[in-house]
Structure 1
Amino acid sequence: MAAEKKQPRADQGVYAISVVSDLVGVGEQTLRLYERRGLVEPERTEGGTRRYSRDDVDRLRRIGELVDDGVNLAGVGKVLALEADNASLQQKLKAAQKRAADR
C-alpha cells in the first residue's frame, strides 16, 4: 500500500522563486521588489532560500491584478491591508450573528 502524500498547508512555503515567477507571470526581480516593499513575506530556508506558499501565490496574483489595473505599489499595499481588514470584520460579523441567533 502506497503511503498517502501529505498536502502542504496553504500557508506552508514550498515553491521556489523560479516556480512562483512562472506561476504568477512576473520576473524574479519583481518578486524580490514586492518582498522589499513588504507586499509579500515568503518563508526562508536555513540557507536563506525563499519558499513561497499557496497563500503567497494567491496574494501575488492579486498584486498582479492591482498593478495591471494601474495601482502603484504603495496603493497595492493599502488595498491589500483594507481587504484583510474587511475579511477580518466579515468573520467577526458572522460570529456575532451566529451568537445572536443561538440566543
Structure 2
Amino acid sequence: MDPEAQSIDSKFDDEDYPAYSMGRAAEMLGTTPGFLRSLDKAKLISPLRSEGGHRRYSRYQLRIAARARELIDDGTPLDAACRIIVLEDQLEEAQRINADIRSRQNG
C-alpha cells in the first residue's frame, strides 16, 4: 500500500482527526453552531482550526458534544454538564488504567 493511501486510512480510524466542519457537526448532532461555540467557550471542547480559521471537529469531540446536549436537554446547566463530562472522562481513564495494571499483574 502506498504511504499516501495508508495516511488516508489512518485518518478514517483516528478518533481525534478534525474531519467535520461546524455546520456538519451541528447537523449531525441536531443542534446549532451556537451550541458548539458555547462548548468551545466553556472549554469543554476545543476544535482545531482549518487554514482558513474555521472550526473543525473530531468524532471524539462530537461524542462529548452529544453527551453535553443530552445533559442540557435534561435540564442540567451548561457549567454543570461540562463538569459532569470531565468527571466521567476522568473516571473512564482511571478504570482503563486500573484494568491495565490488573492485567499486567495477572499476566
TM-score range, shorter chain: 0.7 to 0.9
Which string of whole-angstrom CA distances, capped at 9 and with x for unpartnered residues, describes residues 27-65 of structure 1? 111211111111211111122111111111111111111
Normalised to the residue count of structure 1, the TM-score between the two structures is: 0.88
Matched, 1:19 2:24: yes
Q: Percent same amino acid at aligned positions?
A: 28
Aligned length: 100
| 2:37 alignment partner AA | R
Normalised to the residue count of structure 2, the TM-score between the two structures is: 0.85
More helix by share: 2
Tell me what 2:58 maps to: 53
Displaced runs of 4+ in structure 1, greater than 4 A?
none
Tell me what 1:96 maps to: 101
Cα drift, residue 8 of structure 1: 5.1
Mark the runs of 5 or more structure 2 residues left unpaired by the alignment: none
Q: Report the aligned-residue RMSD.
A: 1.6
Matched, 1:35 2:35: no
Mark the runs of 5 or more structure 1 residues left unpaired by the alignment: none
Tell me what 2:81 maps to: 76
C-alpha distance in structure 2 between counterparts of 1:13 and 1:44, whole Å: 9
